[in-house]
Chains A and B, each alone.
Chain A
Amino acid sequence: MPAPSSTSSSEPRRARLPLGGLLALGLVLAADRLVFAEAGLWARIVARLELVPKALVRVELGIARDRVDLARLGQAAPGVARVVLFGNSRANDGFQFREVPPQFELARLTHAPLSPLEFRLCAREVAAAQPALVVALFSEYDTHRPPRIVPRAGFADLRATGGLVLDAVAARGGWEPAFAFEKRVELERLGLAVLFNAYRYRDVLERAWLNDALGFRADDAGRLPTLVSHELDEAPARAPEFQALRARFRRTLGDRYPDATLRQVQDIGVGPHVAANEGLIEAAVAHLRARGCEVLIVEGPLHPLSYELYDHATTRAQFVEFARRLEREHGAHFLALEDSGPYDEGDFSDPLHLVARRGRELGARVLREAAAILDLPAPPRER
């Protein structure tokens, strides 16, 4: 056995500062702040990521473009209505525009895996860009699926993250104690991500520079070495009637979508996560409204067959009730499915996403609604 640690009550007092550790922490924190404070960083990241095969950087490119778009919005000419579009890939496909009317300046925060959590975390930074309107595409797909508290896509808002963690600890803001305990590891990671941007955006940094610097190359299957575990994290869709349903999907969609999309739809359900998700959206809406920003919640559609994979009637009713409450209590606006529909099977490219034509129609409908909210001339209808 090695000798027990020797020491020292006789060591001089000044030696009892963990100098090495403090210096290292200071170094890491300073480097982190220095790198991420650079004005042109995100534009350079976007330029680098555009050189990588799209399939490998779909999410990372979205995260980087968010920051570039928001910075651009903050510098928009006066007199133009600044609008932020928010949502996951369904919003990306749903908010399509042949051309944006000159009275609007748009910033798109629309890519996977943006969720109510990121909506809450980005609220402060979005408000700082002084948008007249924030348009968010949500539905029961967002409020009724267990939240994935992954820090990578979110914004490093210390106050919002701290508030979120405190809400979870104190069982406020929709967090049930047992649910908060179940999610503690993710919440702890979120806390760490606030301290270190490099931790939060490490996937982005890896794809943009680090993989090249280390000599990592995509393998024959198009995967980066660091991606392997993510790629293996796939499970087949559940439900005994899955094969029959899949055959019905195939009639209009073929086999173009992965089973994972069906699994995501199957995750929609009632549980303690619903209140937590709603709490995140509500906190973001309250923050934006308090800063004079209009908020429009657009109800996003799913493929009509997808509704057979979960209790659509109950979950949708709950979502609509929640959106109506945001209207009543926070002065938000709500564009329900009935106001932008109807949607049929031919409007979808997979169980979740709209085809481009239908996305442009929804985009035009959203712009008309935005113009009405902001008292601007109505843009022309989509043909």
Chain B
Amino acid sequence: MLFNTLDFALFLVLVVGLYHLLAHRAQNVLLLLASYWFYGAWDWRFAGLLFLSTTIDYWIGRGLGALSDARRRRWLLGASVAVNLGILGSFKYFDFFVGSAAALLARLGVHAPDLALHVVLPVGVSFYTFQELSYTIDVYRGQLQPARRFVDFALFVSFFPQLVAGPIERATALLPQIQAPRRVTWQGLRSGAWLILWGTFKKVFVADNLGNLVDAVYARDAHPTGPEAWLAVYAFAFQIYGDFSGYSDVARGSARLLGFELMHNFEWPYFATSLRDLWRRWHISLTTWLRDYLYIPLGGNRVGTLKHYRNMLVTMLLCGLWHGAAWTFVVWGLLHAAALMTQHALTPWTTRVLPRAWPWKLAGGLLAFHLWCLFFVPFRAADMGQALDLWRTLFSDGNAGMARAWLVPLLVYVAPLLLVEAVQRWRGDDELVLRLPVLLRASVYALVFAALVLLAEDHARPFIYFQF
């Protein structure tokens, strides 16, 4: 079930309506059933997988809470890591590694049998396995008491607003909200409804419309000119932002209608002043997860320079692989690692030499944004061959082609997003609209709604991050 369908709107209205009639524990049962219905709408078989991994981690969590022997606790944590990474590995990475090994052997003249599983990737598996891992690790570290009621834990894993594409919630933040009675406030309902409307706008108006342009350039048989390719590269940066941050907004908004508060996943990333700053503002729930459960345990920046760079490299490489089991994502991660290491190496010099005035910040922001866009080429490309072709085209073919026809739509779809975000960033308030005078507020709602009615795509496109 996609957030950008009337199906979901009806589902949400029904769930929210019933929810407000029930007491706390019954609310949790309702949300659990609704979440499994929501997830099962894709494929019921994968709901079984979700249930299985939930059950295993629930009992591991209980075991970790009950045991005091350090060695046995380590074994239990190891079992949780093995189960979660095993699920992820089997469904997401097995075919990639087996295929890559077979290709390597073939180059050496050895014919390997086809061992690939050819299984469909369950929707949201990368998100919920990471969420479950954070739970068992936090319980192991003593930062969290294990969930006592199975229903509560199962709801933490499967909570439908963020089940299939995040934010990847920490148990320390979400579980207490599940375990204690929630208070749905008028302000929560208002802001929730606005987040749903704005998130839908970002997805349907910005991302899906730009998707047409991007698809035309990244099509297998497309031969774009340089300006066309540049427009598509810019368009994809905004498409993926609109798509993913739109999803996160609808998730947060839907949760608020139920009295939950989910974490911010984006903080105006395209107003960042450097690549590192951009990463601090992008997919925050994943980057902080990687920071807390990978980068810092590896030593973070409190080690020697070489080890610090190794930690950055490993973290970004795994960040790339998390997005997809393909060499294009590996390259994407490595490019970011290289750029972040370079920025880190140059920082002492730049802080000494360059003034801290706004033109330099602007230049830094523009440089970061362009690197970000260029690094997205392999991320979006079907394979490295296409990515290399497109990179070459960007700097070689100057023929305008369709670029003139596409420039205006690109601006039309991107400008409202940038305008609203610029004001939000300036005032440091992402719900500024709710504080506008009523007439102005109604006009903003009406404009957003009219844009959806008049300029939305005919068909609901799936969210890009569903494939991860």
Binding site for B on A (CB under 8 A): 1-2, 4-8, 11, 15-16, 18-21, 23-25, 27-28, 31, 150, 184-185, 188-189, 191-192, 196, 198-199, 202, 205-206, 210, 214-221, 225-226, 228-230, 232
Contacts and interface: CB of A to CB of B under 8 A. Distances in A.
Interface stretch (B3-11, B144-152, B291-299, B374-382): B3-11
Given A188-B10, A189-B6, A217 B439 contact: no
Contact of A5 (B191, B215, B409, B444): B191
A18 B186 CA distance: 9
Contacts of B455: 202, 206, 210, 226
A136 to B, nearest CB: 26
A74 to B, nearest CB: 29
Interface in B409-460: 409, 412, 438-439, 441-446, 449-450, 453-455, 457-460
A39 B11 CA distance: 39
Given A28-B449, A202-B455, A185 B7 contact: yes
B264 interface: yes
A219 B173 contact: no
A9 to B, nearest CB: 8
A2 B261 CA distance: 8
A1 B267 CA distance: 12
Please indicate which of the listed interface residues B215, B402, B408, B453 has the most CB atoms of chain A within 10 Å of its own CB: B453
A256 to B, nearest CB: 24
A210 B453 CA distance: 13
B263 interface: yes
Task: Please classify how large the interface on chain B is, using the bins under 10, 10 to 19, 20 to 34, 35 or more.
Answer: 35 or more
Interface in B1-42: 5-7, 10
Please indicate which of the listed interface residues B408, B442, B443 has the most CB atoms of chain A within 10 Å of its own CB: B442
A218 B459 CA distance: 21
A18 B191 contact: no
B256 interface: yes
A219 B409 CA distance: 11
A214 B209 CA distance: 14
B7 A199 contact: no
Given A16-B186, A202-B453, 16 more contacts: A1-B264, A2-B261, A5-B188, A5-B191, A5-B256, A8-B186, A11-B186, A19-B442, A23-B438, A24-B441, A27-B446, A28-B450, A185-B5, A217-B404, A219-B405, A229-B459
Interface in B233-274: 256, 261, 263-264
B446 A24 contact: yes
A1 B7 contact: no
B439 A23 contact: yes
A34 to B, nearest CB: 13
Nearest to A22: B442
Nearest to B172: A1
A2 B7 contact: no
Contact of A184 (B7, B188, B401, B439): B7
A8 B459 contact: no
Contacts, number: 131
B209 A226 contact: yes
A216 to B, nearest CB: 6
A150 to B, nearest CB: 8
A1 B459 CA distance: 34
B409 A202 contact: no
B418 to A, nearest CB: 16
A8 B409 contact: no
A28 B454 CA distance: 11
Contacts of A18: 190, 193
B343 interface: no
B102 interface: no
Nearest to B433: A20
Interface string B164-197: 0000000001000000000001111011010000
B144 to A, nearest CB: 15
Nearest to A189: B6
B212 interface: yes
A7 B186 contact: yes
A154 to B, nearest CB: 15
A218 B404 CA distance: 10
A7 B187 contact: yes
Nearest to B169: A1
A104 B6 CA distance: 45
A297 B215 CA distance: 44
21 contacts: A5-B191, A6-B187, A7-B186, A8-B186, A11-B186, A16-B186, A19-B442, A21-B193, A21-B445, A23-B442, A24-B445, A215-B412, A216-B409, A219-B402, A220-B402, A225-B212, A226-B409, A228-B212, A229-B212, A229-B459, A232-B215
